[in-house]
A and B are shown apart, each in its own frame.
Chain A
Amino acid sequence: MSQKSIPNPAVQSVIDPETGRRVEPSAESRPGFGSGLVDLIAFIGSLSMFNLSALRWLIYRPPRWRNLRPLFYSIGVASTTVVGMTGFFIGMVLAVQSYHSFREMGLESRMGAVINVTLVKELGPVLAATMLAGRIGSAMAAELGTMRVTEQIDALSALGTNPIQVLVVPRLVTCVLLIPLLTGIADCLGIIGGNLISTQLFAIDNYFYWYYTEKFVEMADLVAGLVKSVFFGYSIGIIACHRGFHSKAGAEGVGRAATESFVLSFVIILAIDLVVGSAWNSVYRILYPEVSESLI
């Protein structure tokens, strides 16, 4: 058996419609770094346009309660347990991980402050958002991807409606409204979990636990976490809907849309956490310079 050459599957020839003959793609059209960059720019452009369109429809025609109600259930109510569990375990893990270090320094009575500041300001919102990106974002991307593949999105257009207005805007509104609420639930259960481990397992006095919590955890920390979660909610919603809308055909395409939605959302969540967190701290220092200095 002889084999002269094996065709490279990445460089597929195409049929020239004029002549009907096979034509090898030119060097420019072959995949490479350049095409990757072009794809990235195209993706950013596409996401931006999608975002603008969603905002325009949000203002032009806000969603109706009838469209929001089922989403409030599927995104909000159905996520309560998983988000609560996440928060509860985060609180407990924080307590377990912090205790020995604090004990060596003789500061174990102040664990409540550390656990709760970390929870409400940072870990609660980020991990709740990550969990929701997995649970809600992937589900939304898969749902919309399936709708794209089965022509349901085309059917919406054919019925004279705008799919972004009907499908994206309600999901975006639900994410923005409910993800902060779910983050609040995660925070509360995290605080309870941290307290349970600290007081019941490590026998830290409950009075001191709450005393230092009250002393160090400010309303601004809680608000910082919730503000971040609004941005997280928006980014989860828009990325999931965008990936779903641009899903490729077939089961693989839908699966890829769901995966891309989660991965992208996770990266964006971390980026937003950095940017919004830094911005929030700067604003806080400007508004309350005396508090910032006393903390330092």
Chain B
Amino acid sequence: MVDDQSPPINDPENGDPVAKEYTPPWSFSSFDGSDEGSGELVAEQVSVINGRPEIEIETATLGYAQSGSLGSAGEPSTIVNEPFAEPKQSPPDPSRPAVVEVVGSFLKPYKYADKPVVIEFENVTKSFRNQMVLRDLSFEIRQGETVCLIGESGCGKTVNLKLMIGLMKPDKGTVKFKGDRISKMNEKQLTATRIKFGFLFQMAALFDSMSVYDNVAFGLREHRLMEEPLMPVYIRERLAEVGLPPGVETKKPAELSGGQRKRVGLARALALKPEVMLYDEPTTGLDPIMTDIINELIIQSQDHGAKTGIIVTHEMRTVLKCADRVIMLYPISRLGPKESQILYNGPPEGMEEDADPRVRQFVKGEAGERIREMSSARQADEYESGLVRMHPDDIVSARPNPS
């Protein structure tokens, strides 16, 4: 059995993968060794080195387990609560217990696996008019984690954030914050909960009519969290934390650049010392340098307050730099009826090697399949509507002669 307390089996000196032997019964109910939780497993090859030497099994190389099941690694999901290497060529001989050698693998406990669940989605469905955006979506986010929600435009990433703080209500299912249902909260409870969240909006959503100082001070004043005389120093500190120079306090949002607006938005959110930070496309529309600065600020803000962070982004640099875990959503309109909307739920490093081509395409930014789909859909539309495609040259040639 995999020892719960066993350290990672990489070579402690050089970090290279080394072999480790396991004897039955094996239990991989979760990869951090606990019954509940999540963890990471990389296994390049699993061989039976004793008992059934003829069996050698190539396994999937990456697994990500959550709540007792292997996530998106593909084939080895059958290993849950079963021997890692189920013999297929000959029945196991109970009298000869096999020893399995896991070559080139490491077992690293996921560092947030034992943390309490902060946000929990249970079978959440949300539609706008006739358009279903979320369908039976279930996932959980643990305290201290930084989770990136990625996916194509229109797959419901921002809707997820708004559901978390009760700006929207799910049509079906439940969204919980520390076990309490958001949609069942009254005004007072909702206000108390929202203060625990910080929200950096896509366009920063600074209040245009107020100065930068008043924007950052807004939450403190409304909730009477600080005496007015103490505010200038506190606000200056928050602005300095996000790298804004002195003197910016008196400016109006319209006078700021895109990156500065984002940083003021971050300072405003952090001023209330939130437990959970929600970032809605924090680097969209910024140059690469400013993107890196914002990414660094996100990491810093997570580190300082040991906050939980949920980042909605398309930017893979942000994902690779900031995320502990990545959840990839897919638009409902292009999913099969029984298919889960979550295509990937695992560490950022595993996305490029994921079994699902849609995940790999998204990471690499390849739209080959989509372009073909669009082209055939267009042709089908033209056929159904009976319209004949015209080339611009046809229009030119159809002009009446001026003479």
**A residues in contact (CB < 8 Å) with B:** 1-7, 14-15, 17-20, 25, 66, 70, 143, 146-147, 150-152, 154-155, 157-162, 166
* A-B contact list, 21 entries, CB within 8 Å: A3-B387, A4-B387, A6-B385, A14-B130, A17-B127, A17-B132, A17-B135, A18-B337, A19-B337, A66-B221, A150-B203, A150-B208, A151-B201, A151-B205, A154-B199, A154-B201, A154-B205, A155-B206, A157-B167, A157-B194, A161-B191
Q: Are B337 and A4 in contact (CB under 8 A)?
A: no
Is B222 an interface residue when CB atoms closer than 8 A count as contact? yes
| Closest B residue to A25 using CB positions | B130
Residues of chain B within 8 A (CB-CB) of A2 are 386, 388
- What separation, in Å, do the CA atoms of A159 and B201 have in the docked complex? 12
Q: Which of A1, A66, A147, A161 is in CB contact (< 8 Å) with B388? A: A1
Is B335 an interface residue when CB atoms closer than 8 A count as contact? yes
Q: Given A17-B332, A20-B334, A160-B223, is A155 in contact with B199 using a C-beta cutoff of 8 Å?
A: yes
Q: Are A151 and B195 in contact (CB under 8 A)?
A: no
| Closest A residue to B197 using CB positions | A158
Q: Are B208 and A152 in contact (CB under 8 A)?
A: yes
| Closest B residue to A14 using CB positions | B130
How many Å from the CB of A160 to the closest CB on chain B?
Answer: 4
How many Å from the CB of B177 to the closest CB on chain A?
Answer: 13
Residues of chain A within 8 A (CB-CB) of B387 are 3-4
Q: Which of A5, A18, A152, A162 is in CB contact (< 8 Å) with B207? A: A152
Q: Given A4-B386, A5-B386, A158-B199, is A14 in contact with B131 using a C-beta cutoff of 8 Å?
A: yes
- What separation, in Å, do the CA atoms of A157 and B194 have in the docked complex? 8
Given contacts A150-B205, A162-B191, 11 further A-B contacts (CB under 8 A): A17-B131, A17-B135, A20-B335, A155-B199, A155-B206, A155-B207, A157-B194, A158-B198, A159-B218, A160-B223, A160-B272
**B residues in contact (CB < 8 Å) with A:** 127, 130-132, 135, 162, 165-167, 187, 191-192, 194-195, 197-199, 201-203, 205-209, 218-219, 221-223, 268, 272, 332-335, 337, 385-388, 390
Residues of chain A within 8 A (CB-CB) of B385 are 4-7
Please name the 6 residue pairs, one residue from A and one from B, whose CB atoms are nearest each other, closest first: A4-B386, A17-B132, A158-B199, A155-B205, A14-B130, A151-B205
Q: Are B337 and A160 in contact (CB under 8 A)?
A: no
- What separation, in Å, do the CA atoms of A151 and B268 have in the docked complex? 15
- What separation, in Å, do the CA atoms of A18 and B332 have in the docked complex? 8
How many Å from the CB of A103 to the closest CB on chain B?
Answer: 53
Residues of chain A within 8 A (CB-CB) of B132 are 17
How many Å from the CB of A136 to the closest CB on chain B?
Answer: 15
Q: Are B207 and A158 in contact (CB under 8 A)?
A: no
- What separation, in Å, do the CA atoms of A142 and B158 have in the docked complex? 25
Q: Are B205 and A15 in contact (CB under 8 A)?
A: no
Q: Given A3-B386, A155-B205, is A17 in contact with B333 using a C-beta cutoff of 8 Å?
A: yes
| Closest B residue to A151 using CB positions | B205
How many Å from the CB of B395 to the closest CB on chain A?
Answer: 11
- What separation, in Å, do the CA atoms of A151 and B208 have in the docked complex? 11
How many Å from the CB of B214 to the closest CB on chain A?
Answer: 10
Q: Are A159 and B386 in contact (CB under 8 A)?
A: no
Residues of chain B within 8 A (CB-CB) of A147 are 207-208
Residues of chain A within 8 A (CB-CB) of B208 are 146-147, 150, 152
Residues of chain B within 8 A (CB-CB) of A20 are 333-335
Q: Are A15 and B131 in contact (CB under 8 A)?
A: yes
Q: Are A154 and B218 in contact (CB under 8 A)?
A: no
Residues of chain A within 8 A (CB-CB) of B195 are 159-160
Residues of chain A within 8 A (CB-CB) of B335 are 20
| Closest B residue to A57 using CB positions | B187
| Closest A residue to B196 using CB positions | A160
How many Å from the CB of B25 to the closest CB on chain A?
Answer: 42
Residues of chain B within 8 A (CB-CB) of A152 are 205-208
Q: Are B187 and A162 in contact (CB under 8 A)?
A: yes
How many Å from the CB of B133 to the closest CB on chain A?
Answer: 9
Residues of chain A within 8 A (CB-CB) of B166 are 157
How many Å from the CB of B187 to the closest CB on chain A?
Answer: 7
Q: Which of B127, B135, B219, B332 is in CB contact (< 8 Å) with A160? A: B219
Residues of chain B within 8 A (CB-CB) of A150 are 203, 205, 208
Residues of chain B within 8 A (CB-CB) of A66 are 221
How many Å from the CB of A86 to the closest CB on chain B?
Answer: 26
Q: Are A160 and B191 in contact (CB under 8 A)?
A: yes
Residues of chain A within 8 A (CB-CB) of B337 are 18-19
> Which of B131, B207, B208 has the largest count of A CB atoms less than 10 A from its CB?
B207
How many Å from the CB of B253 to the closest CB on chain A?
Answer: 10
How many Å from the CB of B223 to the closest CB on chain A?
Answer: 6
| Closest B residue to A29 using CB positions | B130
Residues of chain B within 8 A (CB-CB) of A161 are 191, 219, 222
How many Å from the CB of B373 to the closest CB on chain A?
Answer: 11
> Which of A7, A15, A18, A155 has the largest count of B CB atoms less than 10 A from its CB?
A155
- What separation, in Å, do the CA atoms of A20 and B131 have in the docked complex? 11
